[in-house]
Amino acid sequence: MDQTRITKLGYRSLIFLIIAIGLFACKEKVDNNLEVQAYEEAVVVEPDIYEFGFNLNDYVVKRDTIRRGDSFGTILERNKIGYPRIFHIAEKAKDTFDIRKLQVGKPYTLLCSKDSLEMPKCFIYQPNVEEYVVVSFQDSIHAYTSRKPIKYVEKTVSGVIKTNISEAMEEEGLSLRLAYKMADEIFAWTIDFRRLQKGDRFKVIYTDKFIDDTIYAGVQNVKAAYMEFNKEPFYAFKFETDSVKKLTDYFSEDAKNLRRAFLKMPVQFSRISSRYNLKRRIAYYGNKIKPHKGTDFAAPVGTPIMATANGTVTNSGYTGGNGNYVKIRHNATYETQYLHMQRRNVRVGQFVKQGSVIGWVGMTGNTGGPHVCYRFWKNGKQVDPFREKLPEAEPISEALKTKYFSFIQPIKAQLDSIPFHNEKQENLIEDNLISQVKE
């Protein structure tokens, strides 16, 4: 082979070698860039999530509920903590929290170490949706009780009745608790809600309660309400009449109290299963007359039972016939009694306000089903409260009237400014027309 051909082959080989090295370098650079990009995409910083005052990203979070047979010790033992350590933790925490009071069904959270062992560092127990108890043992052992942040949001709503107040509230996506407050607390003695007609209307200024900004805890308070019943307007404004006892009532625009001294019934959304009847005959007892001196309100077990008026608890106990029961003296004339409770929530000598939960519906004592037997005394004699002309609640004192009228003035203006649905549509059409004219 001549020298010239050899030289040309050498140059070509050299050129191919240079190109190959260049391509390899480019590929390596691209690969490196892709690796850097992939690494950058892989490094995702998780946002901090705080609950109970802890950054949950710092722990392995284990949530559960107290089961039957669970104790503080068994829960920690299941999670790899020995009994000597458990005993030491319990001793240190006992002045703040009694670990024996864990209730079945209540939630708890364990914050554990973020490693292969996942050892518990903190035990958090929630006796209710607002409160929580922290037993921390990650550094030193200490326990404390705290509450989740509460937020109150004032809202306004209006609606038009088609069939009843509950359906109208549901159409607006509202809680039935608001319907109950309107029908059985605010306007119970002013408007017969069973006689509402199609076209009757309402407006409400109320407050919703939220826990941790996200957990809806229901209607907290109704500030003011308006009902248009059979073309007649009815206003209601909540006003504090006793700053010491924190007593409030609903009053009309001319300062008249809207309620009687007693609620109509001690439980919400219930039905009367047996009325006061002194001539009642019972087949089980040979069709003999066995007077029934109370009014039975059927409701599911666990339904809250409310005091129908302000008063002082005179009895809170158990007998074979009454089961768990509570008796309240309201004044020199009236007393009430509540029988067959699942559980009592008040003690003798305790002052209770109208609407306070004094116990829960059960089936204790002589009863064939879940209900509360409501008994009513007037001057020491049991009577039918539905046949009694019950007294009105305390009126606003003359000294407070000027303050009341000043207080409700801006609230009434706010209430009057809330449009109904047809008015909203008319306003929207009007705004659109004005906008088109301007264009």
Mean pLDDT, range 283-302, rounded to an integer: 77
Least confident window among 63-67, 140-144, 291-295? 291-295
Query: Which of the four pLDDT bands, split at 50, 70 and 90, describes residue 246?
Result: confident
Asked whether residue 28 carries a pLDDT value surpassing 80, the answer given is no
CA-nearest of 188, 248, 225 to 411 is 225
Mean pLDDT, range 227-236, rounded to an integer: 92
The predicted pLDDT at position 426 comes to 47
Which CATH architecture describes the domain 50-147?
Answer: Roll (3.10)
What kind of fold does domain 150-251 have according to CATH?
A: Nuclear Transport Factor 2; Chain: A, (3.10.450)
Query: Which of the four pLDDT bands, split at 50, 70 and 90, describes residue 405?
Result: very high
Asked whether residue 207 carries a pLDDT value surpassing 90, the answer given is yes
The predicted pLDDT at position 120 comes to 95
Which residues partner with 222 through β-bridges?
A: 206
Query: Which of the four pLDDT bands, split at 50, 70 and 90, describes residue 429?
Result: very low
* Main-chain phi, psi angles of 89, to 5 degrees: -65, -45
Query: Which of the four pLDDT bands, split at 50, 70 and 90, describes residue 436?
Result: low
Using H for helix, E for strand and C for coil, what is the string for 279-296? CCEEHHHCCEECCECEEE
The predicted pLDDT at position 20 comes to 59
Asked whether residue 106 carries a pLDDT value surpassing 80, the answer given is yes
Q: Are 263 and 184 in contact (CB under 8 A)?
A: yes
* Main-chain phi, psi angles of 399, to 5 degrees: -65, -25
The predicted pLDDT at position 382 comes to 92
Residue-range domain boundaries for the chain = 50-147, 150-251, 271-387
Q: Hey, do 50-147 and 150-251 end up sharing a CATH topology, with the first three levels equal?
A: yes
Least confident window among 44-48, 160-164, 392-396? 44-48
Other beta carbons within 10 angstroms of residue 189's beta carbon come to 16
Percentage of residues in the chain with pLDDT exceeding 70? 82
Query: Which of the four pLDDT bands, split at 50, 70 and 90, describes residue 188?
Result: confident
What kind of fold does domain 271-387 have according to CATH?
A: Glucose Permease (Domain IIA) (2.70.70)
Asked whether residue 111 carries a pLDDT value surpassing 70, the answer given is yes
CA-nearest of 234, 235, 159, 160 to 197 is 160
**Taking the CA of residue 393 as centre, how many other CA atoms within 13 Å lie in the half-sphere pointing to its CB?**
27
The predicted pLDDT at position 297 comes to 92
How far is CA 55 from its chain centroid? 26
Least confident window among 62-66, 186-190, 237-241, 319-323? 186-190
More confident of the two residues 249 and 15: 249
The DSSP bridge pattern shows strands 201-211 and 215-229 to be antiparallel
Mean pLDDT, range 163-173, rounded to an integer: 85
Query: Average model confidence (pLDDT) for the chain?
Result: 84
The predicted pLDDT at position 217 comes to 84
